[in-house]
């Protein structure tokens, strides 16, 4: 079959559609010029590689000759990978949500040749079902309306654009102050939304909502109210023992289709794992419970094994499907387990992981989950806890090797700047908590990869694949990378990373900051001009770029003693104050980062002769999940303008630690800790 214009793209998602009979274009001016010339409406389809329903719609409609003929005759057809172009996805998803009250992928939008949307939805079936019209019916109806009611459509698009712009207008409250009342309001809403039986939030489908859990964990640190820690622990234990966690290979799936975490949607996303692994590590820091440490290590092993590219960056995702069937790679039948492990060991394994003859998934298959304690299983089969632990680990290894021989789900090997930065911060946290130098090396190699491959003409690039870097980076790419660079500096690395963070932050302010109303735009001033220039504060699958930028500004202002940066951060709070007060669950990450203002942390100064001594000393200080800001004073430090490190010298050739609160510092040596430096 002849390839369409997607054949020259690098995105695995777009390449999946390169041999569709649909005459697809990537997002480009050529497509819109053709639409204008031929007076055709444009059909925009947005999805991503790991999206199950995107694959379904492709097989049902985009691979169907009859449907493709209608599409090619009536429309100019554009296919977009939402992970490459989140700016396009955000604008048209806002439209679909305004139009239908919900959103999702695949996203289907019909627009004029001037890129103005007038109708849309998500998945449309090939034939009528789910109370939905068939996709062919939609195509014909939309085309007919476009020509017969064009003036009405053009009038409606101006109204639509106006409403999309309204979404990016915020009522600035210059009197707003982030305080305990704001935090308490958010915590109360999280409590009301919490599932006290299964953990997590809301009903089905159930997403991890990591930002809410982060907020609860930080509230526990500052309030010492154990119920907040209990909520986090309940959720993590239910998830890690549930089907949303890959019990054989480690790592988390995207979400659970039920409220009990039993059956997941099997796609694995880099960002979900970055956020959840970090939460596991921080919970381990607080509780010293080996359960969280072990799950974190298993998941980090999964990332190293499956998602780390030879060049040092991290891949984006793994599909839910293999061989056209969702979950086929991960699920097992009862008899299959007995055939592999034998009756005696197989029955123990099946009891341990809730694998039954009837199954808990489709076609009599089971998704692995842990419903019973080790004590219950050991008692049932009359073996010791130690024997059970060793047996289960051995049997898991056997089945993992068997599973490796199955047809694996497709992997999106596109490397995305912002998602990589989230995972880099997680590996830095793993180094700090677990003291494993390998984790730090992975983080630093990934930073080097981004700075070498996703950095062009002093501007960051969004994606990389097959030695090709594409698309100017967005706010989240800059914000998350700056955050990772600060994290590296704060762990005791030299000033190279801090200087790079400062450089990128200056670029961000110059090119993304709204000088009229404050806050950061999603796109820079040099990006392609779209129908709306968005400005986001709401968290989605990842924290909002404005939230992370707020935290970056606060941290850099304290490290550099630069009040101007803190003032910009405060302006972000004032701009989004209405959203913070009315919809706190939508801005959990911003509230989480705002603790640095509500409960000002300690500043810790480490003074030593060399950066190597600084690094060793820093690693021995358990940051205990607080917003501590570290300052480093050493002989070759070329950034000594910070008042925090002035006059804080080493004495007697020892490493000196100064703990500071309210600009008052106390000197401590901890000689028993640092005598091996």
Q: Is the pLDDT of residue 669 over 80?
A: no
Structure tokens at 605: 């100064």
Tens of pLDDT, residue by residue over 568-627, are 999 999 999 999 999 999 999 999 999 999 988 788 989 888 889 889 989 888 766 668
CB 232 within 8 A of CB 213: yes
Confidence band, pLDDT 50/70/90 cuts, at residue 54: very high
| Domains by residue range for the chain, with CATH | 5-166 (3.40.30.10), 180-322+412-598 (1.50.10.10), 330-405 (no CATH), 603-674 (no CATH)
Q: Report, as an integer, the average pLDDT of 172-201.
A: 95
Structure tokens at 113: 């040749």
Q: Which secondary structure element, helix H or strand E, spans residue 666, and what is its range?
A: strand 664-668
Residues 6+ apart with CB under 8 A from 546: 475, 479, 519, 520, 535, 536, 537, 572, 576, 590
Q: Which of 625, 603, 479 is nearest to 552 (CA)?
A: 479
Pairing of strands 107-111, 459-465: unpaired
Task: Count Cα neighbours of 264 within 13 Å in the Cβ-side half-sphere.
Answer: 31
CB 500 within 8 A of CB 486: no
If you ran DSSP here, which 8-state letter would residue 206 be given?
A: B
CB 474 within 8 A of CB 545: yes
CA angle 388, 391, 395 (to 5 degrees): 135
Which pLDDT does position 671 carry in this prediction?
Answer: 43
C-alpha 441/C-alpha 367 separation (Å) is: 35
Which pLDDT does position 625 carry in this prediction?
Answer: 61
Q: pTM for this structure? A: 0.95
CB 556 within 8 A of CB 564: no
In this structure, the number of other CB atoms found within 10 A of the CB of residue 540 comes to: 13
CB 14 within 8 A of CB 79: yes
CB 195 within 8 A of CB 232: no
Provide the β-strand partners of residue 464.
415, 469
Tens of pLDDT, residue by residue over 410-426, are 999 999 999 999 999 99
Please give the C-alpha separations between residue 120 and each of 102, 175, 179, in angstroms, as whole numbers.
11, 40, 41
Tens of pLDDT, residue by residue over 262-307, are 999 999 999 999 999 999 999 999 999 999 999 999 999 999 999 9
């Amino acid at each position: 079959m002849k390839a369409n214009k997607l054949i020259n793209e690098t995105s695995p998602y777009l390449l999946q559609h390169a041999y569709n009979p649909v005459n697809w274009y990537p997002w480009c001016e050529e497509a819109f010029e053709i639409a204008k010339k031929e007076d055709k409406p444009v059909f925009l389809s947005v999805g991503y590689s790991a999206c199950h329903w995107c694959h379904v719609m492709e097989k049902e409609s985009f691979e169907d000759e009859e449907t493709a003929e209608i599409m090619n005759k009536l429309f100019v057809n554009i296919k977009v990978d939402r992970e490459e172009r989140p700016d396009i996805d955000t604008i048209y998803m806002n439209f679909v949500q305004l139009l239908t009250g919900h959103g999702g992928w695949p996203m289907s939008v019909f627009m004029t040749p001037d890129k103005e949307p007038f109708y849309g939805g998500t998945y449309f079936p090939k034939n009528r079902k789910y109370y939905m019209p068939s996709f062919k019916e939609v195509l014909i109806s939309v085309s007919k309306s476009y020509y017969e009611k064009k003036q009405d459509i053009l009038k409606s698009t101006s109204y639509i654009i106006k409403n999309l712009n309204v979404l990016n207008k915020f009522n600035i409250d210059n009197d707003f102050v982030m305080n305990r009342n704001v935090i308490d309001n958010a915590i109360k809403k999280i409590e009301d939304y919490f599932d006290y039986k299964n953990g997590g939030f809301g009903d089905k489908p159930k997403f991890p909502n990591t930002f809410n859990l982060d907020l609860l964990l930080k509230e526990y640190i500052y309030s010492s109210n154990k119920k907040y820690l209990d909520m986090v622990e309940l959720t993590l234990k239910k998830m890690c023992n549930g089907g949303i966690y890959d019990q054989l290979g480690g790592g988390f799936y995207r979400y659970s289709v039920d409220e009990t975490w039993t059956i997941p949607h099997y796609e694995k996303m880099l960002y979900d794992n970055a956020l959840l692994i970090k939460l596991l590590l921080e919970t381990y820091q607080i509780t010293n419970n080996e359960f969280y440490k072990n799950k974190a290590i298993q998941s980090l092993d999964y990332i190293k094994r499956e998602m780390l590219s030879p060049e040092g960056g991290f891949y984006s995702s793994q599909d839910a499907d293999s061989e056209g069937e969702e979950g086929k790679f991960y699920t097992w039948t009862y008899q299959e387990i007995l055939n592999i492990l034998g009756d005696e060991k197989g029955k123990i394994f099946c009891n341990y992981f809730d694998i039954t003859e009837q199954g808990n998934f489709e076609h009599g298959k089971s998704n692995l989950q842990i419903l019973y304690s080790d004590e219950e299983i050991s008692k049932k089969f009359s073996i010791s806890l130690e024997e059970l632990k060793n047996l289960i680990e051995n049997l898991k290894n056997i089945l993992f090797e068997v599973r490796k021989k199955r047809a694996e789900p497709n992997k999106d090997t596109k490397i995305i700047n912002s998602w990589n930065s989230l995972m880099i911060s997680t590996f830095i946290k793993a180094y700090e908590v677990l003291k494993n130098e390998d984790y730090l090396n992975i983080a630093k190699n990934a930073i080097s990869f981004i700075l070498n491959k996703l950095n062009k003409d002093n501007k960051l690039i969004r994606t990389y694949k097959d030695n090709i870097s594409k698309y100017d980076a967005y706010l989240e790419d800059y914000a998350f990378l700056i955050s990772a660079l600060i994290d590296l500096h704060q762990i005791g690395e030299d000033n190279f990373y801090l200087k790079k963070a400062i450089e990128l932050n200056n670029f961000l302010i110059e090119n993304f900051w709204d000088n009229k109303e404050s806050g950061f735009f999603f796109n820079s001033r040099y990006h392609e001009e779209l129908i709306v220039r968005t400005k986001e504060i709401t968290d989605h699958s990842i924290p909002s770029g404005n939230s992370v930028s707020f935290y970056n500004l606060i941290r850099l202002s304290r490290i550099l003693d630069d009040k101007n940066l803190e003032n910009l951060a405060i302006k972000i709070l004032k701009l989004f104050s209405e959203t913070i007060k009315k919809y706190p669950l939508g801005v959990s990450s911003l509230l989480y980062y705002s603790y640095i203002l509500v409960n000002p942390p300690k500043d810790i100064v480490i003074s030593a002769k060399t950066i190597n001594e600084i690094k060793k000393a820093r690693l021995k200080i358990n940051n205990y999940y607080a917003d501590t800001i570290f300052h480093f004073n050493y002989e070759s430090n070329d950034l000594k303008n910070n008042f925090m490190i002035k006059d804080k010298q080493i004495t007697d050739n020892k490493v000196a630690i100064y703990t500071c609160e309210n600009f008052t510092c106390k000197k401590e040596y901890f000689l028993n800790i640092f005598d091996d430096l």
